[in-house]
Copies of this chain bind each other. A is one copy, B any other.
Amino acid sequence: MSEDGADDQSGENGIAPTPEPPYYAVIFTSQRTDGDAGYSAMAERMVELARGMPGFLGIESVRGADGFGITVSYWRSEAEIGAWRDHAEHRVAQECGRSTWYRDYSVRVARVERTRESAGRASR
């Protein structure tokens, strides 16, 4: 995800099962403005779109009652993150994010190098 993200409301919560590293993470941190203004519907649509993109591995997302949220999406490669960033419908959402939905945001692209999980998840 970049200028969008699934919130508590979208039912996307949970730890994403991801493959052995290396793979990539897009860490999207944002502070929402007040009011929905079409945000929830668009966020849900963006998750749906992202899931259909080549190289999509998973997504984790939480937003607190104060409007601060973190969405981390996982991808197979940087090139596939670029394709998602440039998707036409995603571009529109990014523009609305900048103009309307987010007071502040940060996008960090990172290469996941090591992972560790609770025992119940070890076999995934």
Contact = CB atoms under 8 A, between A and B. Distances in A.
A14 to B, nearest CB: 7
A66 B13 contact: yes
A110 B25 contact: yes
Copies of this protein, total = 2
A110 B107 contact: no
A69 B117 CA distance: 15
B115 A113 contact: no
A15 interface: yes
Give the bracket for the number of chain A residues in contact with chain B. Answer: 35 or more
A102 B91 CA distance: 37
B62 A63 contact: yes
Interface string A100-122: 00111111111111111111110
B108 A111 contact: no
Interface of A: 2, 8, 13-16, 18, 21, 25, 27, 29-31, 60-66, 68-70, 72, 78, 98, 102-121
Given A15-B104, A106-B118, 4 more contacts: A62-B69, A70-B70, A105-B118, A107-B117
